[in-house]
Amino acid sequence: MTAVARTIVILAAGSRGDVQPCVALGRELAARGNAVRLIIAAGHEPLAAGLDTAVLSIDPARLLETDEVREWLLGGRNPVRFVSGFKRLIRPMAEMLLEEIRSACKDADLLLFPTLGFVGHHLAEYLGVDEALIHFQPSHPTNAFPHPLVPRAFGAERLSFHLVDQIAWQLGRPIVNAWRRDTLSLPKLSLSGPMRSVRDVPVLACFSEALVPRPPDWPSSVHVTGYWFLDEPSWTPDPRLADFLASGPPPVYVGFGSMVPRDPEATFRTVRAALRVAGVRGIVALGDDGNADDDVLVVSDVPHSWLFPRTLAVVHHGGAGTTAAALRAGIPAVVCPFFGDQPFWGDRVAAIGAGPPPLPIKRLGPGSLAERITRAVRDGGMRRRAALIGRRIAAEDGVGRACAALDRPMNRMNGDGR
């Protein structure tokens, strides 16, 4: 139990991989005597069963499933196209979402928000309450590596973090400053935005030091807690899946989460050919049942925590949540990133020896994928390394460490937070 019970609001708007960790944290905070409210998008309510929820009318993650938004994100290195796409696709819904989020926070004592847009920072100022940032990626400035959203060839590591923050602020500044003025009755912020003040805000970094060693130049206000895993209730596979697993050696799982390839049927054919060349069976979350055969089973929604420990290796897109689940299962992963932070996670998996070098989805081919799958299932050193990392991650108490950090008085959270 915490010394003083609080009303804690957590913004958990995003994909399933974003929501599940926040639910895990929210449940433990509630078990410690706090009132917890999750802000989530419609459709994720079952995940948050038992917690108070405020449901957004627009699901930002669903936008990723539209061809127009995918084209915008994939073309993100063209600054003119990126800015024009933001104004056309994102700005129209922002005002409505900001008001819904504000309403959900009205009685909060503590706000836990991801970095994007620093929405929690503005609301904490408006409400006069405490705040902490949630980092699903290592987004605090460091000289150890560039920002996860910046190409690897950028070079100026620490500067890249300021660059990403400034791009995000300049895109959102007209919307946020109007919101601050008209709704929050706060002064508008300058071109430099909230970056200087937000650097002193406590950070809950929801990833493992087994994957991202803590940079020596991070302040103690950054709490690298380990992953926040949501242990799912007991799950029973349908007979098709149970029979497939029992009928032969462990398969390789292939799935790209909420990422949809431009040509799903062609991608499925590539995956099936690669599995055959590698000489392994596969469970594929892509295509339809008509594409299945004796060695390949097509599935839809199977809990990663149940399935991954029953596989030889995982081929996935490099989302933070799927990366965590594969590492926890102690099996090698072949990461096929699409965009965003996915290349970063693919590089990290390879760097720690838990998988081969990432294979960008745009370069996916039967030969290149088969070569990486073969390494993942046959390289004894890689398999031992993945198993070792899996045991280390499984032993971490990320939720407990996050709650312990939040249990301290907020004016002490900038002390030793390791």
234 lies in a domain? no
pLDDT tens-digit map of 365-415: 999 999 999 999 999 999 999 999 999 999 999 999 999 999 876 643 443
183 and 215 housed in the same domain: yes
Quick: pLDDT tens for 237-257: 999 999 999 999 999 999 998
Contacts by 347-354 with C-beta closer than 8 Å and gap 24+? 347/152, 348/211, 348/212, 348/323, 349/211, 349/318, 349/323, 352/210, 352/211, 352/385, 352/389, 353/381, 353/382, 353/385, 353/386, 354/327, 354/382, 354/385, 354/386, 354/389
Tokens representing residue 65 in the block = 């499933």
Does residue 251 share a domain with residue 219? Answer: no
pLDDT for residue 207: 97
- What total number of domains does the chain contain? 2
| Same domain flag for 382 and 405 | no
pLDDT > 70 fraction of the chain, expressed in percent and rounded: 87
Q: Residues 176, 301: one domain?
A: no
Residue 188 and residue 326 in one domain: no
Asked if residue 162 and residue 83 are part of one domain, the reply reads yes
260 and 386 housed in the same domain = yes
278 in any annotated domain: yes
Q: What is the pLDDT of residues 275-323, one digit of tens each?
A: 999 999 999 998 776 667 889 999 988 999 999 999 999 999 999 999 9
Are residues 404 and 333 located together in one domain of the fold?
A: no
pTM of the model: 0.89
Strands 203-205 and 222-224: parallel
Q: What is the mean pLDDT of the chain?
A: 88
Tell me, yes or no, whether 233 lies in a domain: no
Which sign does the torsion angle of CA 206, 207, 209, 213 carry?
negative
- Higher pLDDT: 35 or 165? It is 35
Does residue 2 surpass a pLDDT of 50?
no
**Boundaries of domain holding 94:** 7-227+396-412
The CATH number of residue 145's host domain is 3.40.50.2000
For the segment 65-123, what is each residue's pLDDT rounded down to a tens digit?
556 555 655 555 455 555 555 556 666 678 888 999 999 999 999 999 998 778 999 99
Task: Give residues with Cβ within 8 angstroms of 367, minimum separation 6.
Answer: 274, 277
In a domain, 163, yes or no: yes
Encoded tokens for 253: 């799982």
Residue 153: per-residue pLDDT: 59
Q: Are residues 388 and 402 in the same domain?
A: no
Q: Do 338 and 296 fall into the same domain?
A: yes
Q: What is the pLDDT of residue 88?
A: 60
The answer on 194 and 244 residing in a single domain is: no
313 and 183 in a common domain:
no
Residue 2 domain flag: no
